[in-house]
Structure 1
Amino acid sequence: MATFELTRSDNGEFHFNFLDNNEKTILRSEQYGSKAAAQNGIESVRSNAGNDERYEYRESSAGKFYFNLKAANGQIVGTSMMYDDDAARRTAAATVKSSAAQAGVIEDL
């Protein structure tokens, strides 16, 4: 089952990763100053993941493919890993779309 992994870094900030059924990271958040803010970020991913218009498909300067998931206000709430091709990127986005709303949260604090 896909999950969100909420972690705290050594500097005290929080972030989350969205993991697929094989515990492979698909999406990462920015750093948040509080646990509550990171939890709000998770809720934003859950509520926006099913909306195709919230996905921004990009290519890095190194030719790798990735996507950003944006909130209704246009703010990026998660950035995917880098993929070698568009098909792999689209598969990862489809996993987020189909699994994020029901995904549980594991805290590794």
Structure 2
Amino acid sequence: MGKFEITKRTNGDYQFNLKAGNGQVILTSQGYSSKAGCENGIDSVKTNSKIDERFERKTSTNGKPYFNLKSSNGQIIGTSEMYESTASRDNGIESVKNNAPSAEVVDLS
């Protein structure tokens, strides 16, 4: 089962990582100035991860595939790691879809 981990960056912002059951990070948020904003971001991931159209499949400038998860207003709420293949990226998307909706939230901040 997956989990969201809330941490604090060195600049004081909060962020979350969604980790799969094996502990691998599968989605990382932007920085939030408040913990409440970070928690709202987690709620948004839980909601939007159920909708395939919210996943934006991209390729970086160095040719590596990755994805963004967007909210209904088009704002990016999470970004994946860089993958070696589009198949690996697509597996990452499926992992977010499977883990996010029921993932527990662990506050490490």
| Same-fold status (TM-score > 0.5) | yes
Paired residues for 1:1-109 under 5 Å: 1-109=1-109
User: Matches of 1:95 and 1:32 in 2, distance apart?
Assistant: 24
**Residue 107 of structure 1, CA deviation:** 1.0
Give the superposed CA RMSD. Answer: 0.6
**Residue 108 of structure 1, CA deviation:** 0.9
Cα shift readout 1:11-37 (whole Å, capped 9, x = no counterpart): 211000010111110110000000000
Return 5+ residue gaps in structure 2 as ranges. none
Tell me the matched-pair count: 109
User: Matches of 2:11 and 2:52 in 1, distance apart?
Assistant: 35
Task: Give me the TM-score of the superposition, normalised by structure 1.
Answer: 0.98
SS at match of 1:16: strand
Which AA in structure 2 matches 1:14? Y
Task: Give me the TM-score of the superposition, normalised by structure 2.
Answer: 0.98
Return 5+ residue gaps in structure 1 as ranges. none
SS at match of 1:90: helix
User: Matches of 2:72 and 2:86 in 1, distance apart?
Assistant: 24
**Residue 56 of structure 1, CA deviation:** 0.4
